[in-house]
Amino acid sequence: MMNFKLTPPHHFVNDALEEIRIFVENIILSLGVHGHAVPVVRHVLLAVVALLLAFFAERLCKYILVPLILRLVKRTEAHWDDVVFDRQVLRTACHIAPALVVWQLMPLVFYQFPMVQEGLRRLTAVYFTIATTRLITGIIDRLRYLNTRPGSSTSQYLKSFCGVLKILAIFIAVVVVIGILINRSPMALLAGLGATSAVLMLVFKDTIDGLVAGIRLTSNEMIHIGDHITVPGGFVDGTVMDITLTTVKVRQADNTITTVPPLTLVSGIFQNWKGVQDVDGQRVKKMVYFDVRSIRVVDDSLRKQLLEQGFVKEEELKGEVVVNMALFRHYMEHYLAKREDVNEKMTLLVRQLEATQAGVPIELYFFLRTKDWIPYEHSMADILEHVYAYANAFGLKIYEQTPVQ
């Protein structure tokens, strides 16, 4: 009966290192190198062997293991592994393999130079930490694609959550790298940060407030990608393109991109036109000011003129007192209702507001069917030009302020 004995992993590594050392020593003997040149040649050959093994380890992972894992992932019925373990994430993981090889071979290469060995050990540990952090942040980036509906509340919440995780991972990586370089335990550094947390919060107050505002903005579903928002002051009036923890990108009507801090939206006032976007129309709310001295009771001459031109009907002129502005309001309501680009099924109103020093305002409130910017502006201009052109036919005058000389 045969007995099989399993070799521990560290014994296997030590045996491999010993075989490499013997191989290099045999090469030196075969070359006939003697004297002081032996250590130099030994270290050069060992370094070349270490670099070649690190290179082959990276190639092995990239061109053999990665395709193999991708095939296994495609065969599974689960969706999450297709999203998380994509080709880019797996190739990022391949950068860890050379660091592991160099880490194991350093005692073999520079066993006669402890200071060099220690320096390379720290540099390799820093590289390993950075490569691992890149892998972790790459996986976190892929987590937000688990939701297949971009722009939904779940997708935005995942994006915000992934942003927080990335910041946390990078922060821990920075602490670990600093600990490696100064030869201190990362846990000791993290414990020491507790004493300086108040100073850090004071220094990074604006950044922390911005991050909290970004979380509130997405978790409370204040805005979504595709919403049309406006901020008082006129510097933001467009469609939301992207939402992160630190910025909100808005495409303006002229296709320029405006970046808004989430803190500005959360702490201030902004309008979300999502409710208007969900309906079949784009709102128009315009005011035209008329000279109060032109508002008068309709006389026989104006009555006859309006009837001949077909602006009013006989029924509208019945009554003891008929005012020209009232007739004009009714005329504009009928005019707007007959236009094909105006949605007559939605609110359509022409009303008079309280008089001001600039005259008596008439507000036009209606919805255009089109939501595209250029047709919208053209239709709105046609309607306002119609108001300016036909107001005089009703005996009304548009208010004009005397220019300052």
Question: For residue 154, what pLDDT is reported?
Answer: 61
As given in the structure block, the two tokens for residue 209 are 């407030």
CB atoms within 10 A of CB 136: 19
The pLDDT of residue 114 is 76
- Residue 398 pLDDT greater than 50, yes or no: yes
pLDDT at 8: 45
Q: What is the dihedral of CA 274, 277, 280, 282, to 10 degrees?
A: 110
Picking from 365, 399, 396, the residue whose alpha carbon sits closest to that of residue 383 is: 365
- Is residue 290 predicted with pLDDT exceeding 90? yes
Residue 1 pLDDT greater than 50, yes or no: no
Instruction: Please provide the average confidence, as pLDDT, over all residues in the chain.
Output: 79
> What mean pLDDT is predicted for residues 361-375?
87
Over the chain, what HEC string results? CCCCCCCCHHHHHHHHHHHHHHHHHHHHHHHCCCCCHHHHHHHHHHHHHHHHHHHHHHHHHHHHHHHHHHHHHHHCCCCHHHHHCCHHHHHHHHCHHHHHHHHHHHHHHCCCCHHHHHHHHHHHHHHHHHHHHHHHHHHHHHHHHHCCCCCCHHHHHHHHHHHHHHHHHHHHHHHHHHHHHCCCCHHHHHHHHCCCHHHHHHHCHHHHHHHHHHHHHHHCCCCCCCCEEEECCCCEEEEEEEECCCCEEEEECCCCEEEECHHHHHHCCCEECHHHHCCCCEEEEEEEEECHHHCCECCHHHHHHHHHHCCCCHHHHCCCCCEHHHHHHHHHHHHHHHCCCECCCCCCEEEECCCECCEEEEEEEEEECCCCHHHHHHHHHHHHHHHHHHCHHHCCCECCCCCCC
Give pLDDT, residue 277: 61
- Model pLDDT, residue 389: 92
pLDDT tops 50 at residue 403: no
| Of 276, 398, 394, nearest in space to 335 by CA | 394
Find out whether 89 and 145 touch, Cβ atoms under 8 Å: no
Residues of the chain with pLDDT > 70: what percent? 77
For 12-49, the pLDDT digits (tens) are 555 666 666 666 666 766 766 665 666 666 667 777 77
All domains of the chain, ordered by start, with CATH? 9-146 (no CATH), 177-278 (2.30.30.60), 280-394 (3.30.70)
Q: Express each pLDDT in 73-127 by its tens digit.
A: 888 777 777 777 778 888 888 888 888 887 777 766 676 677 877 888 888 888 8
Q: What is residue 7's predicted lDDT score, i.e. its pLDDT?
A: 44
Residues 6+ positions from 334 with CB-CB distance below 8 Å:
none
More confident residue, 222 or 258: 258
Q: What pLDDT is recorded for position 404?
A: 47
Burial class (CB in 10 A: 0-12, 13-18, 19+), 73: middle
How much is the pLDDT for 276? 63
Q: What is the Cα Rg of the chain in Å?
A: 38
pTM more than 0.75: no
Segment 169-227, tens digit of pLDDT: 888 888 888 888 888 887 777 776 665 666 666 666 766 777 777 777 767 778 888 88
Compute how many other C-beta atoms are within 10 angstroms of the C-beta atom of residue 382. Answer: 11
